[in-house]
């Protein structure tokens, strides 16, 4: 059950309908991260599709191969964010954090990279860091569904009651 939940969540973390994330602004001037299907690097597109389908090993392999080809900085940042999501979903949060950090260093406005890194921190039990990255993602894309999902997960974990036992002998 937990694997299905993580797989489903990871699919939400990967870029929407393609591999290149493009920030656009809607009519109300709110930041929105949309995705366009790129034709320049079929390996990155195929990698994103594999990750979205829950086939993380194949997605990681294809995306890594795609990154060996020349790519624009936005495409590279999106692909690194996708690698982050795949590694987090496959239970490797340390690798995920590395890829998200690299993605953010290329594009500070990529809310998905912050959201993905937040999830990786969450997996490691590093809730303060997860919350900080989540707030950054929310400041860039306040209406993103993934941000609210991770916020709920962090809140649920932080609000779990704890019991302190005392020995009165």
Kindly give the parts of the chain with pLDDT less than 50. Answer: 1-12, 15-38
Question: What pLDDT is stored for residue 126 in this prediction?
Answer: 93
Domains detected in the chain: 2-14+41-158 (1.25.40.10)
At 61-71, the pLDDT tens digits run 999 999 998 88
Question: What pLDDT is stored for residue 131 in this prediction?
Answer: 92
Residue 141 near residue 111, CB atoms below 8 Å: yes
Residue 144 near residue 33, CB atoms below 8 Å: yes
Residue 43 near residue 83, CB atoms below 8 Å: no
At 69-92, the pLDDT tens digits run 888 899 999 999 999 999 999 999
Question: What pLDDT is stored for residue 16 in this prediction?
Answer: 41
Q: Does the predicted TM-score (pTM) go above 0.75? A: no
Q: What are the CA-CA distances from residue 37 to residues 40, 69, 78 (Å)?
A: 9, 17, 12
Instruction: Kindly state the tokens that stand for 80.
Output: 């690194």
């Amino acid at each position: 059950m937990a694997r299905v939940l993580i797989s489903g969540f990871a699919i939400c973390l990967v870029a929407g309908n393609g591999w290149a994330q493009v920030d656009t602004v809607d009519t109300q001037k709110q930041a929105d991260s949309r995705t366009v299907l790129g034709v320049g690097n079929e390996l990155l597109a195929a990698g994103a599709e594999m990750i979205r389908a829950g086939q993380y090993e194949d997605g990681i392999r294809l995306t890594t191969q795609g990154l060996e080809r020349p790519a624009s900085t936005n495409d590279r940042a999106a692909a690194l964010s996708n690698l982050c999501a795949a590694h987090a979903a496959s239970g490797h949060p340390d690798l995920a954090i590395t890829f998200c950090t690299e993605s953010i260093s290329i594009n500070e406005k990529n809310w998905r990279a912050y959201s993905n890194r937040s999830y990786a921190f969450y997996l490691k039990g590093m809730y303060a860091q997860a919350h900080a990255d989540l707030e950054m993602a929310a400041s860039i894309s306040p209406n993103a569904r993934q941000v609210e999902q991770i916020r709920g997960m962090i809140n649920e974990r932080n609000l779990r009651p704890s019991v302190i036992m005392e020995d009165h002998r």
